[in-house]
Each structure stands twice: as structure tokens, then as C-alpha cells.
Amino acid sequence: MTEAREDARQQLVRTAAGMAAAGLAPGTSGNLSVRCDGGFWITPTGLAAGALAAEDLCLVRGDGSWDGPYAPSSEWRLHRDLYSARSGVRAVLHAHPPFAVGLACLRRDIPAFHYMIARFGGDSVRCSRYATFGTQELSDAALEALAGRNACLLANHGVLVCAPDLEEALALGVELEELCGQYWRACLLGHPVLLSFEEMAVVLDKFTRYGRQGW
Ligand SMILES: [Zn+2]
């Protein structure tokens, strides 16, 4: 095993702990991965994200074969297909945080109610169509909802986020749940006033120029 691989595993364990601490992985839900030579390291199925060691992680290859003391997360296809479709993606986070799941159960896209929606690549965060967890159908639905975006809701399930590194994946996961909570609250009081296409285009341009997204 190379030193670089060892580093990636340690970073994955640290970020998974951060994901649990941020409330993004209740119980044993949620999973996280990082790209490596020949595939990706991913958190195993059935273990809490906040209590992992580097030795618990699983290496999954592009053909779906894997090595590790535990089976990979049942959602490994979501991760594999994102790495395969997008060369700039080096980290993937999947989680079941409460506000996002609530909105995903309404199968509602999150519109441009706040300018920070632009951080996810466009003027909305889409909700995918429904498919059973762990299936290729779910992965296909997720990739569709992620077109031009770095996050989506998964209908009646959770969220999926991709990023150029683990730190950014966690930051985006935390930000998305925060925005879902804000949208939820605004909807409780009425109909949020949405930003126009032009207003969001200005923000998207600024974010791209400041390197906050557009990778
Ligand atoms: Zn899930």
C-alpha cells in the first residue's frame, strides 16, 4: 500500500467523523468516499461514520470488486458512477440529514430562494426521481438530477454531494442541510420570494470567478 493511499484513508476517517459530528449521518446512515489509484476508498456498510478506523475502510474498483474487512456501503454504485462520469470529482458524500430528507419526501427541488444555492452549480438543487436504495436505478436517477450540479436530493431518501476533495464535500453537505432548514422555515411562513434567473446568473459568475465552484 502506498503512502498516498494511507493518507487518503486517514483523511476519509477524519472527514467521516466530521460528517457524524455535523449531524449528517444519524445511526449508521450516510457514507463517504475518496478517489484513489484504481478506484476509491469508501466507508463500510453497517458501521457508524463517527467511529471508523482506517483499517475498516473498503477499496472498491471500477468493476465493482472490492477489498476490505467489511462490505462497502450498499450505495457504492452512487460513488462509482460519479467518479466514472466526472473526472474532477475526487470525493462523494451521501447522507440522510433531517431537513433535506423532509424536503426529499415532498420530492421538491430547492429553488433559488437564497443566493447560496448557486454554490451547488446552478439556480436550484434538484430532487431525483425515486428508486430503491442500493440499486443501479438509483444511481442513474441521481446522475440525472446532478446534471450541471454538485448536489441533489434523492427522493424519499437523502442527499448526494460531490466535490474535488473531502473537505469541500463535507462543507457542501453541511451547507446543503443548512439551506434546506432555511427553505423549510421560509415555507412555513409563506411562499419564499425566489431570485430571478438574471440575479442568480450574477452570483454564479461571481462564484465561478472566486473559485467557489465551476470545477
Ligand atoms: Zn442512503
Q: For residue range 40-56, what is the model confidence (pLDDT) as tens digits? A: 999 999 888 888 999 99
Beta bridge partners of 39: 36, 61
Cα 78 to ligand 1 centroid, rounded to whole Å:
10
Cα 177 to ligand 1 centroid, rounded to whole Å:
15
What is this structure's pTM? 0.94
Whether residue 75 lies in the annotated active site: yes
What are the Cα distances from residue 91, in Å, to 57, 81, 109, 163, 172? Answer: 14, 12, 23, 5, 11
Q: For residue range 68-98, what is the model confidence (pLDDT) as tens digits? A: 999 999 999 999 999 999 999 999 999 999 9
Catalytic, out of 3, 6, 55, 75: 75
Cα 150 to ligand 1 centroid, rounded to whole Å:
17
What are the Cα distances from residue 99, in Å, to 96, 123, 204, 209, 215? Answer: 9, 19, 24, 30, 27
